Chain A
Amino acid sequence: MEAVLVGRPNAGKSLFLINFADYLGLRGLEGGAAGHRRPRGGGLSELRRKFVSPVPNRVREPLAATVSLSAGPAGGISLVLRDTVGIPAHGVPEGEIRRAVAQGLAQLLQATFIFHLIDVSPHAVPTPAEEAVDRELHLLAQQIAPSLILANKAEADLGGSRVRRLKELYGPTSVLPVSALTRLGFRDVKHWLVEQLALEPP
Chain B
Amino acid sequence: MSSTSHPAWSPDPGLLQPASSKEVLQWVESGRLPPVEALGHLRRLKSEAALTKATTRSTAGDLVASALAELDDLIGLQPVKALVRELKAFVDIQARRQEAGLKSDQHALHMVFTGSPGTGKTTVARIVARLLQGLGVLARGHLVEAERADLVGEYIGHTAQKTRELIRRALGGVLFIDEAYSLARGGEKDFGREAIDGLVKAMEDLRGQLVIILAGYPVEMQWFLATNPGLRSRIALHVHFPDYTPQELVAIARHMVREREYALSREAELELARFLEQQRDRLPIHSGNARWVRNLLERAIRRQAVRLSQHGGPFSREALMTLTWNDLDPQGGGLWRPS
Chain A positions near chain B (C-beta within 8 angstroms): 87-92, 95, 98-99, 101-103, 105-106, 109, 129, 132-133, 136-137, 139-140, 143-144, 198-202
Residue pair A140, B39 in contact (C-beta under 8 Å): yes
Residue pair A200, B29 in contact (C-beta under 8 Å): no
Q: A98-B29, A99-B29, A201-B101 are in contact. Are A140 and B42 (CB under 8 A)?
A: yes
Chain B positions near chain A (C-beta within 8 angstroms): 21, 24-26, 28-31, 34-36, 38-40, 42-43, 46-47, 50, 98-101, 103
Chain A residue, CB-CB nearest to B25: A102
Give Cα A88–Cα B36 distance, bound, in whole angstroms: 8
Q: Give me 17 A-to-B residue pairs in the complex whose CB atoms sit less than 8 angstroms apart, sorted by A's number.
A: A89-B36, A91-B31, A98-B28, A98-B31, A102-B26, A103-B25, A105-B25, A105-B38, A109-B21, A133-B36, A139-B39, A140-B42, A143-B50, A198-B101, A199-B100, A201-B99, A201-B101
Chain A residue, CB-CB nearest to B50: A143
Give Cα A119–Cα B103 distance, bound, in whole angstroms: 40
Give Cα A146–Cα B39 distance, bound, in whole angstroms: 17
Give Cα A106–Cα B39 distance, bound, in whole angstroms: 11
On chain A, the residues within 8 Å of B42 by CB distance are: 105, 109, 140
Q: A109-B21, A198-B101, A200-B101 are in contact. Are A102 and B28 (CB under 8 A)?
A: yes
Q: How far is the CB of A10 from chain B (nearest CB, A)?
A: 15
Q: How far is the CB of A58 from chain B (nearest CB, A)?
A: 17
Residue pair A140, B43 in contact (C-beta under 8 Å): yes
On chain A, the residues within 8 Å of B34 by CB distance are: 90-91
Give Cα A106–Cα B21 distance, bound, in whole angstroms: 8
On chain A, the residues within 8 Å of B21 by CB distance are: 109
Inter-chain pairs besides A87-B36, A98-B30, 4 sampled, C-beta below 8 Å:
A90-B34, A98-B28, A103-B25, A105-B42
Give Cα A144–Cα B25 distance, bound, in whole angstroms: 16
On chain A, the residues within 8 Å of B29 by CB distance are: 95, 98-99, 101-102
Contact of A139 among B38, B43, B98 (CB under 8 A): B43
Residue pair B28, A105 in contact (C-beta under 8 Å): yes
User: 5 closest Cβ contacts across the A-B interface?
Assistant: A136-B39, A102-B29, A102-B28, A102-B25, A143-B46
Give Cα A31–Cα B101 distance, bound, in whole angstroms: 30
Chain A residue, CB-CB nearest to B35: A87
On chain A, the residues within 8 Å of B98 by CB distance are: 201
On chain B, the residues within 8 Å of A105 by CB distance are: 24-25, 28, 35, 38-39, 42
Give Cα A98–Cα B30 distance, bound, in whole angstroms: 7
Give Cα A30–Cα B98 distance, bound, in whole angstroms: 31
Give Cα A129–Cα B37 distance, bound, in whole angstroms: 11
Give Cα A178–Cα B200 distance, bound, in whole angstroms: 55
Residue pair B46, A140 in contact (C-beta under 8 Å): yes
Residue pair A199, B101 in contact (C-beta under 8 Å): yes
Q: A98-B28, A105-B25, A109-B21 are in contact. Are A143 and B36 (CB under 8 A)?
A: no
Residue pair A137, B39 in contact (C-beta under 8 Å): yes
On chain B, the residues within 8 Å of A99 by CB distance are: 29
On chain B, the residues within 8 Å of A202 by CB distance are: 101, 103
Q: How far is the CB of B100 from chain A (nearest CB, A)?
A: 8
On chain A, the residues within 8 Å of B99 by CB distance are: 201
Residue pair B25, A136 in contact (C-beta under 8 Å): no
Q: How far is the CB of A110 from chain B (nearest CB, A)?
A: 10
Q: How far is the CB of A121 from chain B (nearest CB, A)?
A: 22
Chain A residue, CB-CB nearest to B21: A109
Give Cα A92–Cα B38 distance, bound, in whole angstroms: 13
On chain B, the residues within 8 Å of A129 by CB distance are: 36
Q: How far is the CB of B80 from chain A (nearest CB, A)?
A: 32
On chain B, the residues within 8 Å of A109 by CB distance are: 21, 42
Q: A98-B28, A109-B21, A201-B98 are in contact. Are A92 and B35 (CB under 8 A)?
A: yes
